[in-house]
């Protein structure tokens, strides 16, 4: 598979290494600052020479990048976060489109297993109202958005499956938290930090479910595997479609 990478920061370089280890060719690298990039902008590149574009760049560029890939007929895998409000519109426009498009807030297979575990736990906790719910995440100091896309996904899982919780508070609280709210906190620090914890707390005990990553490799491997799976497919997909263990 021939791949174009958009964004050549820490994640882009990890994607480059993992793709080559799996026998793929990175023939185009798009980055406005990195001197090793082949092009500064996506429109400069001939995307008809690649099978798939993998985008881990910026939320501001995502709509233009989708249009450019659509115009060239090139599949697109997106791990860029911070554009969640546009997902429903993009989903509708790409559902029966001429390219394959796959987006995820997190491509790590371990994190997606974590999503499934948290969903099952939330469904169980829903029947026991003595348990309160909270969430916490930590990411490296270069993380561009807060809370992360992974945190947003966890928030949605909890709200969808625990009926007594109807809202999430992500900001600092200078008041008592309401019973219907979930407080989800975010911390940014360190060079390579990726961690999430969901807590279920009762007067008698506490249950915590955590995931932490050692490095970026799991995220990159999941994105490359998703791009491999997307070959020959058309329309809008998410990570759960590739993994097929969503229950």
On whether both 150 and 239 belong to a single domain, the answer is no
Rounded Cα–Cα distance for residues 127 and 124 (Å): 6
**Where residue 177 sits, what CATH number does that domain have?**
3.30.360.10
Can you give the pLDDT at residue 91?
Answer: 81
In the chain, the number of structural domains is: 2
Cis peptide before 99 (omega within 30 of 0): no
148 and 188 both lie in a single domain? yes
Task: Give the per-residue pLDDT at 73.
Answer: 92
The 3-state DSSP class for residue 144 equals coil
Do 147 and 237 sit in the same domain of this protein? no
Helical residues (DSSP H) of the chain, grouped into ranges: 10-21, 62-72, 87-94, 109-125, 149-161, 217-230, 239-243
Pair (6, 102) in one structural domain: yes
Which residues are annotated as catalytic? Answer: 139, 143
β-sheet with 2-6: strand ranges across: 25-30, 2-6, 52-55, 75-78, 100-103, 235-238
Q: Tell me the residue range of the domain where 168 lies.
A: 109-212
Q: Are residues 196 and 133 in the same domain?
A: yes
Domain match, 136 and 99 both: no
Walking along the chain (247 residues) 10 residues at a time, the average pLDDT comes out as 95 96 97 94 95 92 91 93 81 78 92 95 98 97 88 96 98 95 96 92 98 93 96 91 71
pTM over 0.85: no
Q: Are residues 52 and 72 in the same domain?
A: yes
List beta partners, residue 39.
30
Q: Which residues contact 129 (CB under 8 A, 6 or more apart)?
A: 164
| Same domain assignment for residues 45 and 134 | no
Q: What is the pLDDT of residue 247?
A: 40
Domain co-membership, 40 together with 76: yes
221 and 103 in a common domain: yes
Check whether residue 120 and residue 208 sit in a common domain. Answer: yes
Q: How many CA atoms lie within 13 A of 148 on its CB side?
A: 24
């Amino acid at each position: 598979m021939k791949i174009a990478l958009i964004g050549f920061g820490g994640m882009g370089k990890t994607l480059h290494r993992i793709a080559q280890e799996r026998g793929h060719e990175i023939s185009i690298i798009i980055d406005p600052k990195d001197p090793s990039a082949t092009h500064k902008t996506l429109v400069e590149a001939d995307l008809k020479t690649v099978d798939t574009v993998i985008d881990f760049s910026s939320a501001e560029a995502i709509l233009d990048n989708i249009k450019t890939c659509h115009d060239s007929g090139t599949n697109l895998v997106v791990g860029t976060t911070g554009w969640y409000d546009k997902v429903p519109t993009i989903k509708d426009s790409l559902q029966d489109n001429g390219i394959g498009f796959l987006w995820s807030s997190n491509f790590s297979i371990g994190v997606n297993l974590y999503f499934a575990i948290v969903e099952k736990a939330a469904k169980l906790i829903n029947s026991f109202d003595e348990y309160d719910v909270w969430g916490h995440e930590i990411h490296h100091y270069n993380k561009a958005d807060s809370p992360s896309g992974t945190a947003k996904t966890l928030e949605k899982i909890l709200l969808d499956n625990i009926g007594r919780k109807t809202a999430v508070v992500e900001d600092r609280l200078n008041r008592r938290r309401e019973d219907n709210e979930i407080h989800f906190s975010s911390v940014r620090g360190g060079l390579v930090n990726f961690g999430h914890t969901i807590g279920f707390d009762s007067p008698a005990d506490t249950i915590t479910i955590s995931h932490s990553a050692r490095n970026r490799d799991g995220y990159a491997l999941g994105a490359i595997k998703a791009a491999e799976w997307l070959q020959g497919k058309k329309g809008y997909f998410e990570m759960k479609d590739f993994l097929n263990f969503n229950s």
